[in-house]
Amino acid sequence: MGNSNKCLIVLILLSFVKLFSQTTESRSLETIRQQYQNLPKNDIRALPYVNEYINTAKTKGNFKGLTQGYRDAVLYTPDEHLKLVYSDSMIYAAEKTRDNGLLTLAYLGKGIIYYFNYKKFEPALDQYLKAYEYSRNTNDLYLKYKVVYHLGVVKSYLGYYWDALVHFNDCIGFFEKEIGKAKHQNEIYNFKRGYYNSLHQMIICYRNMGEQNKADSLLTIGIDKINRESDYSLERSYLLKCRAISYFKHGAYIKAIRDFKTALPELEKKDFSYASVVYFYLGQSLMQTNRENGIREFKRVDSIFEKHHFILPELRQNYEILISYYRDKGNIEKELFYTNRLLKVDNVLAKDFTFLSSRVHKEYDTKDLLEKKDFLERKSTLRLVLLLVISVLSTILIIFLTYRYYRERNIRLQYEKLQMRLQNPEDKILKGNSNNQNQLSILPQELIIELSEKIRKFEQKKGFTKRGLTQHELASQLGTNYRYLSIYINEVKGVSFKNYLNKLRIEYISELLNSDRKYLNYTTEALAEECGVTTRQSFSYLFREINGIRPQDYIRQRKMAMKK
């Protein structure tokens, strides 16, 4: 046999060995994974096999397999810190593959850990946004909408309810459509879970925006559908929790208690954040008949806060109730304990819920709480010394009366200042700069004239009172280009589009309150709706920001002035 033939045989044998080793590698990874892939989440029995899978993938330089291995490590590791470490390793491996789908999964997985395990919403949002960028270059629509859903969840937690609703509405449309198309049982299961979770989040958004009727309508649809299912126990608990809150808000406390207790076991096992919501509302429901039973549930909310250092803004009242309860009991130590706890709660809310923390109604602000804390500590230590107690009380009373005097004086001054502006038609909040109309080199003069007339009619017809009006929508209504409208408002009106609408709305409602006494009897929610502001909190904030006085204080001063 010639040398050339020998070389050919060797090359064929080497190729066969290489092909065989690749097949063995693929089968080997698959075989290892079969040993643990059916185990439940966070089951440490899977970890030896997962480590073997990772080491095998590393040895073979198989980065797709390595990405899967680290993803499995995140799934089966109960240690929250290690989950974050493995998620970083998953991102590293996915980047080596340059596969957009795997990169989407990796960044989404890390974001979910920040959100679900750590309740750190801003870093979670950062990871979701990275996942979203990669998801735009993949054909996996399920993965894309999973990213969209999680973006919506974080936005909802941060208080951006309108933005979050857009996400959840898109998700519901996608998942509902895909349920009808899917043939494989696993696909149907995933799409239905996506649908029910998106529906649950929409209900939360509408409830937090004060639109309980819309929330109840979606709730009826969700409960009706999920009652026909034999699975989805966690999603069913979410919807039952929402229905119980609706019952509570309508005064149906017995029904509320029934649904809360049905939803609770599953939430206690899988979602401590919503378990704390149930404890809070269950406590309020029980308080209607048995105060002590209600207090027990409020303490459970505190236990979750103590363990996880996390709380939702709507649960802040939990501590106000506990403080009031122990104040009535004359238990100074407990009152002081929960006052200190409320200070910690406020610190967490201010850090994690930047958007919401300035708008959540607080009975006690930080300064007041610190003063009460000092007072309670002094009272607890020296309550037997009558003279000192009287001295402290007198000092606090003087401070309070002084503060109240200056606060009332400031309110009167702000009221008078606003009245002078309202009585002078020339002194508008939104004057604009007419000189700029001739200085807009970007826009043709005839376009400026046309826009000025259209904007004038828009303001005259009170088009700004429409809730949720966007710059794109207004540009479409006016029959103009979005960019032209943006340039015109910024240059001629001298403000951004958002500030332009806000100032028009507050000016409009201020004039109504000044000229028509019936509006003085409107609730804050009704006034907000009248002028197009989405929420009571936003309306109060904008009114004070623009007019220098809270709407409640203005109404009180106006009523007093009209009586005189």
According to the model, what pLDDT value does residue 284 have? 95
Q: How far is CA 137 from CA 94, 131, 247, in A?
A: 15, 11, 45
Greatest alpha-carbon pair distance for the chain in Å reads: 122
Closest CA to 234 of 202, 270, 208, 260: 270
Neighbours of 410 (CB within 10 A): 13
Residue 126 structure tokens:
């950062």
pLDDT at 10: 38
Q: How far apart are CA 355 and CA 343, in angstroms?
A: 18
For the chain, which residues score pLDDT lower than 70? 1-27, 352-372, 379-380, 382-392, 394, 402, 425-441
Q: Which residues, other chains included, contact 100 with Cβ-Cβ below 8 Å and sequence gap of 6+?
A: 134, 135, 137, 138
pLDDT per residue as tens digits for the range 290-337:
999 999 999 999 999 999 888 888 899 999 999 999 999 999 999 999
Q: What angle do CA 480, 483, 484 make, to 5 degrees?
A: 55
pLDDT tens string 430-459:
665 555 555 555 788 888 888 889 999 988
Q: What is the residue type of 120?
A: K
Tokens 């990213």 — which residue?
Answer: 147
Buried-exposed string 298-322: b where 16+ CB fall within 10 A, e elsewhere: bebbbebbeeeebbbbbbbbbbebb
What is the Cα gyration radius of the chain?
Answer: 30
d(CA 145, CA 149): 6
Contact yes or no for 414/549 (Cβ under 8 A): yes
pLDDT the model gives residue 428: 66
Class of domain 445-563: mainly alpha
**240-247 own/partner pairs: CB under 8 Å, 24+ apart:** 241/267, 241/274, 241/277, 241/278, 242/200, 242/203, 242/204, 242/207, 242/215, 243/219, 244/278, 244/281, 244/282, 245/207, 245/277, 245/281, 246/207, 246/212, 246/215, 246/216, 246/219
What's CA 484's distance to the chain center, in Å? 33
d(Cα 169, Cα 205) in Å, to the nearest integer? 11
Q: From CA 536, how far away is CA 528, in angstroms rounded?
A: 6
Task: Give the closest residue to 460 by CA, choosing from 508, 511, 509.
Answer: 508
DSSP secondary-structure letter at 37? T
pLDDT of residue 563: 84
Nearest to 285 by CA among 327, 307, 317, 255: 255
**Confidence (pLDDT) at 214:** 94
Distance between start and end Cα atoms, the chain: 122
Q: Which pLDDT score, from 0 to 100, does residue 300 have?
A: 96
Give the integer Cα–Cα distance in Å for 42 and 78.
Answer: 5
Q: In the prediction, which pLDDT does 38 show?
A: 86
Query: What pLDDT does residue 327 have?
Result: 93
Please tell me the distance from the alpha carbon of residue 448 to that of residue 445, in angstroms, as a whole number. Answer: 5
pLDDT of residue 371: 60
The whole-model pTM stands at 0.58
pLDDT at 438: 55
CA separation for the pair 410, 13 (Å, rounded): 93
Contacts of 528 (CB under 8 A, 6+ apart): 534, 535, 536, 538, 539
Please tell me the predicted confidence (pLDDT) of residue 359.
36
How crowded is residue 227: how many other Cβ atoms within 10 Å of its Cβ? Answer: 9
